[in-house]
Amino acid sequence: MGLVALGVTGGIGAYKAVEVARGLQKRGHEVVAVMTHSATRFVGAVTFEAITRRRVITDQFEDGMNADIEHIALASTIDLLLIAPATANIIGKLANGIADDFLSTLYTATRAPLLIAPAMNTQMFAHEAVRRNLDTLAARGARFVEPGEGYLACGWIGKGRLAEPDEIVAAADAILRPEGPLRGQRVLVAAGPTYEDFDPVRYIGNRSSGRMGYAIAAEAARRGAAVTLVTGPTTIEAPAVREVVKVRGAGEMHQAVMARAGGMDVVVMAAAVADYTPVNRAAQKVAKDADTLTLVLKKTPDILGELGQRRLAAGSGPVLVGFAAETEDVIAHASAKRERKHADLIIANDVSRTDAGFDVDTNAVTIVAASGAESLPLQSKARVAAAILDRVERLLTSRAIKA
Which residues are catalytically annotated? Answer: 154
For ligand CTP, the closer CB: 29 or 337: 337
For ligand CTP, the closer CB: 275 or 359: 275
CB of 355 to ligand CTP, least distance (A): 20
325 near ligand CTP, judged by CB under 6 A: yes
Range 265-324, binding ligand CTP (CB under 6 A): 269, 271, 273, 275, 300, 302-304, 322-324
250 near ligand CTP, judged by CB under 6 A: yes
CB of 263 to ligand CTP, least distance (A): 18
State the distance between the two ends of the chain, measured CA to CA, in whole angstroms.
30
Q: Which residues contact 179 (CB under 8 A, 6 or more apart)?
A: none
CB of 300 to ligand CTP, least distance (A): 4
For ligand CTP, the closer CB: 247 or 271: 271
CB of 325 to ligand CTP, least distance (A): 5
For ligand CTP, the closer CB: 6 or 307: 307
For ligand CTP, the closer CB: 180 or 305: 305
117 near ligand CTP, judged by CB under 6 A: no
CB of 323 to ligand CTP, least distance (A): 4
Q: Which stretches of the chain bind ligand CTP, using CB under 6 A?
A: 250, 269, 271, 273, 275, 300, 302-304, 322-325, 337
